[in-house]
Structures are given as C-alpha cells and as structure tokens.
Amino acid sequence: MSEHEFIRIDRLSQRFDLSDPWIARLISRRPKQFLNAVDNVSFNIEKGKTYALVGESGSGKSTIALMAVGLLRPTGGSVLIDGHNLYDRTQSQLEHRRTRRRLQMVFQSPYASLNPRWRVGNILAEPLRVFSLTDSQSAERRRVHELLEQVGLSQSDAHRFPHEFSGGQRQRISIARALASRPEFIVCDEPTSALDVSVQAQVLNLLKRLQNDLGLTYLFITHDLAVVRVMAHRIGVLKSGRLIEEESTQSLIESPQSEYTKMLIRSAPRISRGTTGISFT
Amino acid sequence: MTDILLSVRNLRVVFPHRHGDLVPIDDISFNVKKGEIIGFVGESGAGKSMTGAAIMGLIDDPGIIESGEIWLGDVRIDQLDAKRLIKIRGKRIGMIFQDPLTSLNPLKTIGDQLVETILAHLPVNADQAKRRALIGLEEVGIDSGRFNAFPHEFSGGMRQRVVIALALAAEPELIIADEPTTALDVSVQAQVLELLKKLCRERNASVMLITHDMGVIAETTDRVAVLYAGRLAEIGNTASLLSSPRHPYTRGLIASTPSVEHGDISTHLYQIEGSMPRLDALPTGCSFHPRCQDALPRCRLRQPEVINESVACFLYE
C-alpha cells in the first residue's frame, strides 16, 4: 500500500437475491436466482485525487458508491479507508463512528435529499450534533455560517427552508452538509445531472475549488464523459458490475482500449460536431 | 410562403395569480418549415415545454393564451374547441414525452395501443390498422413478434421507440418531442435520436425538439431557438448559431458546457453567475441583465425585441 492511497476497494462484490419465495420455488422447482450487481471490483484512490466511475444505468455505479461510503454491506471483498476496514465487525462502535465521520456523500437530486421541513441551519447542524463536533450553541452557529460561506451562500440563508432555493443552490446546501463533519473523502453520485447546464458549471467549479482548498478525495459517479474529463484524475469504466477498463483520464478518453468505452465516447453528444457532422449509429 | 408548416406569432401565455399574473411565455414568435427539425433549448422554467403545450392546446388550468396566434398551415389552432382540437392532436401533430413509461398505457399491449391510435385517426378497418401497426413497429426496429407485449416488458430505449411509432402512426405533419431522450443512456439516446431524425426525414414531417442539452441540439437540429425566462433570446441556423452565438446567454450556455474533446482536471469551466429568475420575481428590462457581463444601462429599463428574426439583445441594435 502506497502512503498516498486513501481508499482501497478490494475485490468488492454485491449480490442481490432475486429468488421467488421458498414455497413458490419448491412448487416450480426453480433454483435460487441472484444478480451480481457488482462483481469483483478493485481500485484505489490517492489522497486529494478524484476517481470517476462511468457506465450506463444498471452498471453498478451507485451500488459501489453506497458501499464505499458505508451505507451498504458488500457480500464480498472489502473497503479500506486509510487502512481501516469499513465493514470490520470486530471494530468497536466508537472506532466505526470515527471512520464514518471522514466519509460523506452528495446525492443526485437536491430536491429529494434535503428534508423539506427543516431549516437550512438545522440541516447543516445535524452532522455536527451526530458526531459531537461542536461544544456550544454559538460554536455550532459559527460553524454553520462558515459552511454556508464556503459554498457561496450567505449567513442569512440558515433561516430559510430548502424550497426557497433553486436547484443549484440546493446542491450547494447538500455540499455544505457533506462538508460539515470535516470529511476527507466525499462520494458524489451524479451531483449535477439534475441541474441546468449553466448551474452545472458553477457546482463543478465549486467542487474543484473545495478539493484544492481542503485536500478532499472524491469518488465521482456519472454517466457524462464530458463532465468526467474536467473533473477526474482517473476513470474506471463499469459494465454489468465489472470494471472493464481503468486509466488516467487523458489516456482513457483519447485512446480507449475496450469497444465498450469507445462506444460510450463516440455516443457522447458534442457541440462542435454541428449538424453536418458524423451521424451516430 | 407555402413551405411554412407552423407559425407562432407573438404568443403570450398567462397564469392569473392573486399576487399578479405569471407569464411563462411572453411574446414568442417563430416559424417551423416543412420537413425541418427545430430545437428549443433553455433551462428548466424557460418556457420550452409550455410552448409545446400551447401548440397542442394542452395548457393546464388556470393558464390561458392571452394574446398571439398559432397557425398550422392555413388553420388557426389556438382558439379551437375541444372537438376540433381532437382532429389535430395526434392526427396532424404527434407528441413524444420525456418519460416513455408514463406516456404508455401499462394495461394494454403495445399492439393494441397502436391499432387504437390508427383507428382513431385514419379511415381504415381493423385488419388494415393491424397491418399498419406491424409496419410501424418494424420501422422503429421492434420485432413484430412483440406485438402483444406490454410496456413493462421493454427497456427504456425500446419503450421510447414504441412511443415514436405511436406518434408517427397517424402520419402527422409535425412532431413535438419534449426531452425524448433525457431519461435514456447516452448510447441509447444516440440511437433514438437517429431513428427519429430518419423517420421524420422520410415522411417530410417537421420536428420541434425540446431539450436542455446543447450537444443534442448540435447533432440533431437544422435550426434552434434559445429561450430564457419565457422569452426568445436567439433563433437561427444551428451550425451558425453554435459557431458564432450572439446573445450573451447563448454564448454563456455554450461556453459552460463541458466537452469530451478538450479540457482536463485543471480546466476552470466558464460559469454564468446566478440562476434564472423565478416567474414571480422577473427583473425589469431584459430578464437576463442581472447575469449579463455586457449589460448596458438601457437593459435595465426596456425589454429588447427580437431583431431581424435572430437575436433579442440591445448589443446588436
């Protein structure tokens, strides 16, 4: 293990049981059925770098995201955070929480991932309370204000509800919430696919600036290769739960090896091609 | 001019509200030529879908078309009663929605839905309708053996093919496709768009393609209209609009779209500061001026008109 490596995903698998109820299986004499959503995937991410997972819907991107952040127990393999096994049952509750604080997630839809009945200040203070990170009310308030400013919102926004914000601003709130516990690693699951193009640029630039300022490590999940090109240091291509290709961004996009990756890159719509350009088939 | 299929003139849609009227479409004019694919691009709430709905006579209560005219050929269609509208909807104008799962009836086989549509619009008997339905499925690349399959038995891309077959079944002159590929994977999106383009070209049908994706616009359309906060910002030939955009909003939109072809981790994406104003808080003057770097003093005071049927901006006056 190199000293710069922050997270190591080692032979990770997730198998979902899709079988009928046992009595139906008995009558129809069908065996159990399984779906290998993630199949023996291994990769690691260096500290302060962005690793992007790309692939079509159903390729297992989001399942890996959930396992990497500790929300879904894998059926095989392990996730090592700075050497600590995230799913080690022998670890104490306390140790486990200590590791969990270092991992956060930004979800796809800022409309569904913020509690509509909580004020923004409360949403941002929840992680602080869960991990007991501030020792007084005033310290808590200070930290909330600091977080809002970090993502380009103003202090007075703490008193407002999520519905008073636009999609892009809501995604800023999600990012601020993810930053609250001072994590080192953030999983971004399609963070801009619900946003309009002009707002997408703002959120992507914000994520980059935060990475530079705070030295964050990102796992970036997306289907958009154009976004990946400006966001990721390395890319892994997933197909049906398997990692079929992995390279640094530049070489993967400019000289893809597998047919599948070539197809993905070819079908990405591009402005420069114009109407006279190559038709896609 | 005989080659104009659809003509929308000074369309204004209003939703009365107790704190003042909301105007999701304000003074929009454009023509759609026969056989042309015209794109409508803009952010959510810019009025893209509402324009399509107004043409179809599908504006929800309490919204009304307050002023303006919509002409399909030589028929004025914005004031038709429900009975005459039925003859146009589906027959002369087909519609494709974003989510193929909600636009298909889950309880009927796709074959039945096709036959039903054909019988409703064309003077044919049941046998002929079935034959046409089978041809329709074949054209969109669905095996005729799946005539009796239900929508849930298809993948998203295949479902959208069924929806295309349905929209084309009555041989309409105009297809309004509202974000037809937003719910699909990129590789499937490419196939579906290519199919739509091919079938409409073969029939000389016009398409209004509503999308927020500049890449899709570039690869599919002949002309493009850019909408912002309910008004037309810019309209023109796709190739020239993309290579030399004029309206500051169009320029920003194109510049902020990342590309698979260039850039790397150190790239700082161009960003338009702020976000589109809500309909109940539109600024005075040009609604883009608070985000515009080139704003002139008069942009705050007056709304720019569309000049020479191309761009609505004082910079070009």
Confidence of residue A221 (pLDDT cuts 50, 70, 90): very high
Confidence of residue A108 (pLDDT cuts 50, 70, 90): confident
CATH 3.40.50.300: which residues of chain A? 5-102+183-267
Chain A residues within an 8 Å CB radius of B290: none
A212 CB contacts (<8 Å, ≥6 apart)?
A: none
With 0-12 / 13-18 / 19 or more C-beta atoms within 10 angstroms meaning exposed / middle / buried, residue B281 is: exposed
**How near does any CA of chain B get to the CA of A264, in Å?**
6
A-B C-beta contacts closer than 8 Å:
146
What residue has token string 């960003």? Answer: B271
**How near does any CA of chain B get to the CA of A90, in Å?**
39
Chain B residues within an 8 Å CB radius of A230: 258, 263-265, 267, 269
Half-sphere exposure of residue B22: CA atoms within 13 angstroms, side-chain side: 18
Chain A residues within an 8 Å CB radius of B270: 201
Residue B39: closest C-alpha in chain A? A275
Query: Please, what is the average pLDDT of chain A?
Result: 90
**Which pLDDT score is estimated for A3?**
62
CA distance B11 to A257: 52
Report which residue type is found at B15.
F
ipTM for the complex shown: 0.84
Say if B293 is an interface residue toward chain A (CB within 8 Å): no
Fold of A5-102+183-267: Rossmann fold (3.40.50)
**Which pLDDT score is estimated for A93?**
85
Confidence of residue A138 (pLDDT cuts 50, 70, 90): very high
Provide the chain A residues 22-81 that lie in CB contact (below 8 A) with chain B.
50, 56-57
Confidence of residue A2 (pLDDT cuts 50, 70, 90): low
pLDDT tens, N- to C-terminus, chain B (317 residues): 568 999 999 999 999 988 889 999 999 999 999 999 999 998 888 999 999 999 998 898 899 999 999 999 999 998 888 888 888 888 899 999 888 778 899 999 999 999 999 999 999 999 999 999 999 999 999 998 999 999 999 988 889 999 999 999 988 999 999 999 888 888 888 888 999 999 889 999 999 999 988 889 999 999 999 999 999 999 999 999 999 999 999 999 999 988 888 888 888 999 898 888 888 889 999 999 999 989 999 999 999 988 888 999 999 88
**Which pLDDT score is estimated for B240?**
92
Chain B residues within an 8 Å CB radius of A272: 218, 259, 261
Provide the chain B residues 91-150 that lie in CB contact (below 8 A) with chain A.
none
Is the previous residue joined to B245 through a cis bond, with omega within 30 degrees of 0? no
**Which pLDDT score is estimated for A280?**
37
